[in-house]
Chains A and B, each alone.
Chain A
Amino acid sequence: MSENEKPKNYAGMSRRAVLAGGAALSASLFTPKFLRAQDFPTAEINTTGLAVTDDTVTIGILHSVTGTMAISETGSVQAEKLAIEQINAQGGILGRKIEYIQEDGASDWPTFAEKAKKLLVNDKVASVMGCWTSASRKAVLPVFEQYNGFLYYPTFYEGLEESPNVIYTGQEATQQIIAGLDWVNQTKGAKSFYLLGSDYIWPRTSNKIARKHIENFMDGCKVVGEEYYPLGHTQFNSVINKIRLKKPDVIYAIVVGGSNVAFYKQLKAAGIDMTKESPILLTISVTEDEIRGIGGENIEGAYACMKYFQSLDNPNNEAFVSAFKEMWGDDMVIGDVTQAAYLGPWLWKAAVEKAGSFDVDKVRAASPEIELTSAPEGYVKVHENHHLWSKTRVGRAQADGQYEVVYETADLVEPDPFPEGYQ
């Protein structure tokens, strides 16, 4: 991890600058309440023996920093650390500084379960920011439920889950899919869709929802192909030929990891110029992070459906992006999940303060209806199903690796992890 993991200016002169930046940010955006620790006696706000002292509270960060998933999870770790830093600069939570214990899931699901258990049982952390893949979340879920821990999970995912011990700060599948499909249908007149994905649960579930929506809710639209390639597959010329044969209006791609890079490079090499929009490429799996590996010039013109893009034009986001770059380096890019990870500590802070307690049961009870006006993506709110209300946005990839936001839903989209009519 080393290089990416270490704050660029941590050791150097500008640590103060980071804090100042954080403080400035908070002063302008996060209505600061100056809470003093002595107003909240430890015994009262922590009745379940969590790692809370008179001036600190310990939380866990649980991501992969080694193994194949380290590529993806790095940004989340960075965002969570930034949020913690900023919260501390603002005086912490209930007057207590946040300390964190970071554990490495090592891209290995039992390790995630093992480390989750360590964090909850040995370290008694008050909450955990962590996990990225569904598999790792599924692995830790029983641990969190058994030991009554509280997890903030940042990734957009397939839904079909609603745990009392998890707050899902990313989108469940319908939030990411439906608005995008409607948009491409209404503004681009797209009628036929070719669904493509890496072979595992998220792309399959997402494509299932997409197919139901296309077939049942979009007039005259149809799916002309659907298929999956093993994770790590690097040869897409055959499927590109099939796509040519079917001539879909939209290629709906949910390819992940190293396959992503191969897919877009080969698509471009095969003469499918995405800037010509024939066919249109719509994806839900490529954030700014992935574009760095793919190369902006190879994906220019593709559309992505997310809730957040680094280029979002609002003051919250400007402050967030500059603080992030200040902490981690100017060459950093921020993707959808990174932003969602950043929300975790803030949502927890808000919930703890609303509950006036670190006790998991009280935080849980306080969580629904928590609002964050200061989120980089704009206003978000916690639904009682533990997911976030958030807007869906469509961005168009540029050669410089950023997205230009071309559409956003007028209202917040309600999270619906068990969508009726889509199963």
Chain B
Amino acid sequence: MFSDYSMSELTAIFAMQGFAGLILFSVFVLMALGLAIIFGQMGVINMAHGEFMILGAYVTYLLSNFFEAYLPALFSIYFFIAMALAFVVSGALGMFVEWAMIRHLYKRPLDTLLATWGLSLILQQVYRSVFGAREVGVTIPDWMIGSLPLTDMIEIPINGIFVMVLAVGISVAVYVMMYRSRWGQQVRAINNNRVMADAVGINTAWTDRMTFAIGCGVAGVAGSAFTMIGSTGPTAGQLYIVDTFLVVVFGGAGSLLGTIASAFSISQAQSILEFFLSGSMAKVLTLLTVVGILMLRPQGLFAMKLRK
């Protein structure tokens, strides 16, 4: 298929295609980080993860309207405020959900799956009642739209760069939080041995709540960022759920690095396949490969081998 093109054209395309893969990678990382915290560290299956993301998107939508109407001068930077607010709002909802629901279910992971699925239905209906069934259009500041021409032929989407920077930033933040802070130590201690953690004076209830809230908050930020590249509607969250879970599981639950590595491999596979095959078949092949590998290596790519 490439015989008709000049060398420079091909270079340009491959560069951009590589970039497309990186954007997809960043999207996967953003989707999966919140879940990796919640599922990996707490063992909770949050099927409402997508709805937490959409909550962040709606926050962004409301804020964009607010700034357009009352603070047009600051419109160009509203997006940062929106992301911060999305974190707070989704996190607060997460905190409430943990308190009302999740904390009663820590010993029944499959039941958290059903309960959070119920939660996702409720949230969808709430969004529909509040914001209407239609998708809402989120206005993005002008500077975030468009592309940077690197050469004559290579153009890099600005929102792609933004998503990538954000993915790196949040990954680093989460890494620091989980592996370099006292709080992260506590979370991991609880994950390893809840009773012991309790006994040595870690406030497990509070730590659980914060972990869940932060996971949801990160989802909210992801949702906020995705208003640049995707749709915001009551049921849009469901589009993400299968991909997100596969990324986390494929990476090996409990391993942040694994999640990132798995996001990288899945995104590259999908992006390359999409380039050479039709979109649907690329998707099917990617999913099949992931499921196939998971069957061969159920603990995921990066799970540690532990004494049982």
Interface check B145, CB cutoff 8 A:
yes
Whether A271 contacts B135 in the complex (CB less than 8 A), given A230-B283, A232-B239, A261-B231, comes out as no
| Contact yes or no, B233 A199, CB < 8 A | no
> What is the CA–CA distance of A138 and B229 in the complex, to the nearest angstrom?
33
Task: Kindly identify which residue among A240, A269, A292 contacts B137, using a CB–CB cutoff of 8 Å.
Answer: A292
| Contact yes or no, B233 A293, CB < 8 A | yes
| Contact yes or no, A237 B137, CB < 8 A | no
Chain B 114-144, CB-CB to A under 8 Å as 1, else 0, gives 0000000000010011001111111110000
How near does chain A come to B221, taking the closest CB pair, in angstroms? 17
> What is the CA–CA distance of A265 and B230 in the complex, to the nearest angstrom?
7
Task: Kindly identify which residue among B19, B136, B139, B146 contacts A268, using a CB–CB cutoff of 8 Å.
Answer: B146
On chain B, the residues within 8 Å of A2 by CB distance are: 128-129
Interface check A260, CB cutoff 8 A:
yes
On chain A, the residues within 8 Å of B9 by CB distance are: 245
Which residues of A (177-222) have their CB < 8 Å from a CB of B?
Answer: 199
| Contact yes or no, A68 B235, CB < 8 A | yes
- Residue of A2, A67, A237, A291 with most chain B CB atoms under a 10 A cut-off: A237
Interface check A16, CB cutoff 8 A:
no
| Contact yes or no, B17 A269, CB < 8 A | no
Interface check B170, CB cutoff 8 A:
no
Interface segment, one of B20-28, B37-45, B80-88, B174-182 = B20-28
How near does chain B come to A123, taking the closest CB pair, in angstroms? 25
Interface check B62, CB cutoff 8 A:
no
> What is the CA–CA distance of A68 and B228 in the complex, to the nearest angstrom?
21
Interface check A74, CB cutoff 8 A:
yes
Interface check B303, CB cutoff 8 A:
no
Which residues of A (244-267) have their CB < 8 Å from a CB of B?
Answer: 244-245, 257-262, 265-266
Interface check A407, CB cutoff 8 A:
no
- Residue of A244, A265, A297, A298 with most chain B CB atoms under a 10 A cut-off: A265
| Contact yes or no, B134 A270, CB < 8 A | no
Whether A71 contacts B147 in the complex (CB less than 8 A), given A233-B279, A235-B27, comes out as no
Chain B 33-70, CB-CB to A under 8 Å as 1, else 0, gives 00000000000000000000000000000000000000
| Contact yes or no, A238 B230, CB < 8 A | no
> What is the CA–CA distance of A355 and B16 in the complex, to the nearest angstrom?
63
How near does chain A come to B279, taking the closest CB pair, in angstroms? 4
Task: Kindly identify which residue among A3, A233, A241, A292 contacts B135, using a CB–CB cutoff of 8 Å.
Answer: A292
Interface check A242, CB cutoff 8 A:
yes
| Contact yes or no, A270 B157, CB < 8 A | yes
> What is the CA–CA distance of A301 and B88 in the complex, to the nearest angstrom?
38
Interface check B236, CB cutoff 8 A:
yes
Interface segment, one of B71-79, B98-106, B270-278 = B270-278
Which residue in chain B gives the minimum CB-CB distance to A197? B279
| Contact yes or no, B5 A269, CB < 8 A | no
> What is the CA–CA distance of A325 and B24 in the complex, to the nearest angstrom?
41
Which residue in chain A gives the minimum CB-CB distance to B273? A238
On chain B, the residues within 8 Å of A245 by CB distance are: 5, 9, 13
- A contact patch SS: helix
> What is the CA–CA distance of A233 and B236 in the complex, to the nearest angstrom?
11
Task: Kindly identify which residue among B20, B231, B238 contacts A260, using a CB–CB cutoff of 8 Å.
Answer: B231
Interface check B292, CB cutoff 8 A:
no
> What is the CA–CA distance of A293 and B147 in the complex, to the nearest angstrom?
22
Whether A258 contacts B133 in the complex (CB less than 8 A), given A271-B146, A295-B138, A297-B139, comes out as no
> What is the CA–CA distance of A229 and B279 in the complex, to the nearest angstrom?
5
On chain B, the residues within 8 Å of A229 by CB distance are: 279-280, 283
How near does chain A come to B152, taking the closest CB pair, in angstroms? 12
Whether A4 contacts B149 in the complex (CB less than 8 A), given A241-B16, A265-B228, A269-B159, comes out as no
| Contact yes or no, B134 A234, CB < 8 A | no
Whether A244 contacts B133 in the complex (CB less than 8 A), given A235-B24, A269-B145, comes out as no
On chain B, the residues within 8 Å of A265 by CB distance are: 159, 228-230
Chain A 281-307, CB-CB to B under 8 Å as 1, else 0, gives 000000001011111111000000000
Task: Kindly identify which residue among B230, B232, B278 contacts A227, using a CB–CB cutoff of 8 Å.
Answer: B278
Q: List 6 A-B contacts (CB under 8 A).
A: A2-B128, A228-B280, A230-B279, A244-B13, A269-B146, A269-B160
Chain B interface residues toward A at CB < 8 A: 5, 9, 13, 16-17, 19-20, 23-24, 27, 125, 128-129, 132-140, 145-147, 149, 155, 157-160, 228-233, 235-236, 238-239, 270-271, 274-275, 278-280, 282-283
Chain A interface residues toward B at CB < 8 A: 1-4, 65-68, 70-71, 74, 199, 227-230, 232-235, 237-242, 244-245, 257-262, 265-266, 268-271, 289, 291-298
